[in-house]
Amino acid sequence: MANFPLIMIILSFGSSFIYYDTGMTYDFDYDYDSDFDCRNGYSKIVTTTFSDEFEQIPQVFFTNEKFDQDTAEVEFNLEITTITKTSFTLQISCSVNRVYRLNLKWFAIDDQRIEVLSNFNMENPDDKTFQIKNPNAQTGFVIITSFSYTGPIDFLLSISQITTNSVTVSITKVEGKFTNLRKIGYFVVVGIEEAFINLGLQTTTECFSSGDLAIQPNRWFAISLQGLNYPNDNNLRIKAIHSDTPTTISYTWGTWDQSETPNSHSQIWIAYQFTKIFKPLECFSIRTSRKQVKDLTIFPTFYLEFVQSNQIYTTDGDYEYYVDISNAPFKMGIQITCENGKKIKADFNKCNSCSYQNTHSYTYNCFNQMNYIGFFPVFQQAFPQYNHLKINMQSSSLEIINVVYDQVITEKTIVNIQILDQ
């Protein structure tokens, strides 16, 4: 009998994901879909599939690169209704007169250094403030998605304020025209300083030509419509026509028929890959103290102070705090009552990249002569940034968590103190 070698074949199944994607949607343009007749209660739902699967559900936004709408009065709603790891769904509905053409350029990104906020189909347009997650998202822009009108309109959307936890969008209110703007829809896209290169607001009453713009590596180009001065005497028509080379892009922005629709738009380069990496605070030095207090009952169990701001916590509870960018290095003072028979175990994040000994660790036994323990850590980072902290103070423990917004949101405990039995 012949002997045959045993051959083992091992199949390796790997998985890969995408983290950014972009494309065009022409499904709301009757030149591409002759059945698209958006008026008098018409509605259409379109699902767009990404080029591959995202690891997490991405953030999606779009810009309008072509408008064609009736005069007199138009009311249409446009919104993203669903986003998954593989696709997103758009819905349009038109109740009065006709929307002929909308061409949408969409962007999808799985990165927490950019945050997309949506305000679809807002009735009674007005200034609005949105809460944001990432305290380092200190720049951004606005993109009109839809609008409804009953006559001439003249308005401009802009970001009027950004703080560590909010962004405010303002809208101009031209007397005699603002009441004709019945609805407005828009995105607010905020991000870290590296996220956007804004070439400025372009306001035009005639066809606009961008000239050659040098292509920026690892960035998308977006035309962000922010305002309209529409006299309502012809169809509202705007169209982007692109002429690109390997090193430059250029476009014209205007009508293809009838008179121009005066408008304002920004030219934005949007990063989809970043060089700046955000990491948790690291404790590079710490001072400790031990002393005797005659009457522990007059002191709280934990006394936590953020030194630069003089913010103090002494009662049990969950808190959130944003460390200002100017507080570098960041200093804390933590003092703990330590009754006889108890011990204090404390850990402070020392090194994010160390494989071992990545904390400053202390254990102190408590006795009557040394019943009040103090820790005075100083934290630093590679570059100045705002920091989001979660604080959990309980009767026998104190935990401070640094929430980090990088490609993903992570949480790292930078202070962990426990009161234990000996």
Q: Judging by DSSP bridges, how do beta strands 330-337 and 302-306 pair with one another?
A: antiparallel
The CA-to-CA distance between both ends of the chain, in Å, stands at 73
Per residue in 279-331, pLDDT tens? 999 999 999 999 999 999 999 999 999 999 999 999 999 999 999 999 999 99
Amino acid (one-letter) located at 272: Y
Per residue in 156-183, pLDDT tens? 999 999 999 999 999 999 999 999 999 9
Tell me what pLDDT residue 232 has. 86
Prior bond of 329 cis (ω within 30°): yes
Give the angle subtended at the CA of 18 by the CAs of 12 and 19, to the nearest 5°: 140
Tell me what pLDDT residue 256 has. 84
SS (H, E, C) the chain: CCCCCCCCCCCCCCCCCECEEEEEEEEEECCCCCCCCECCCEEEEEEEECCCCECCCCEEEEEEEEEEECCCCEEEEEEEEEECCCEEEEEEEEEECCEEEEEEEEEEECCCCEEEEEEEEEECCCCEEEECCCCCCCEEEEEEEEEEECCCEEEEEEEEEECCCEEEEEECCCCCCHHHEEEEEEEEEEECHHHEEEEEEEEECCCEECCCEECCCCEEEEEEEEEEEECCCCCEEEEEEEEECCCEEEEEEECCCCCCCCEEEEEEEEECCCCCCCCCCEEEEEEEEEECCCCHHHCCCEEEEECCCCEEECCCEEEEEEECCCCCCEEEEEEEECCCCEEEEEEEECCCCCCCCCEEEEEEECECCECEEEEEEEEECCCCCCEEEEEEEECCEEEEEEEEECCCEEEEEEEEEEEEEC
Categorise residue 401: left if φ over 0, alpha if ψ from -120 to 50, beta otherwise: beta
Distance of CA 364 to the CA centre of its chain: 43
* pTM given for the model: 0.90
Tell me what pLDDT residue 161 has. 97
Q: Which residues of the chain have pLDDT under 70?
A: 1-15
Rounded Cα distance between 380 and 394, Å, is 26
Tell me what pLDDT residue 15 has. 58
Residue of 153, 85, 174, 159 whose CA lies nearest to 119:
159
Rounded Cα distance between 50 and 60, Å, is 11
Paired tokens of 34: 């002759």
Sign of the Cα pseudo-torsion (306, 307, 310, 312, in order): positive
